[in-house]
Amino acid sequence: RESETATFHRYPELEAKRMLVELLEEPDQYNHALESFIARVTSRLAWGRAEASDELKQRARELLLGVSPTGSLANKLPFLM
């Protein structure tokens, strides 16, 4: 099938190997390794390269803080929106 030959299908596999190495080297940093894995795969699928993954990770963190109940007052009182 054509979709099986697409090169982006290898990105999760490549990044999984990288994540496993990171986990073996620093198992106590599993949260960082998992966040990096997700950001690198997403970045590779979206832009074809992993370089933007650090910025993507930071933007995702900012978004989660912004929409969480501990974020802005409008998150606690939605009628203010």
pTM for the model stands at 0.69
Phi (first) and psi of residue 53, to 5 degrees = -65, -35
* pLDDT of 78 higher than 90: no
Identify the pLDDT of residue 79. 67
In tens, the pLDDT along 23-33 reads 999 999 999 99
Number of domains in the chain: 1
In tens, the pLDDT along 18-72 reads 999 999 999 999 999 999 999 999 998 888 888 888 888 888 888 887 777 776 6
CA distances 81 to 2, 13, 72, Å, are 46, 42, 11
Identify the pLDDT of residue 11. 86
Structural domain containing residue 45: 3-80
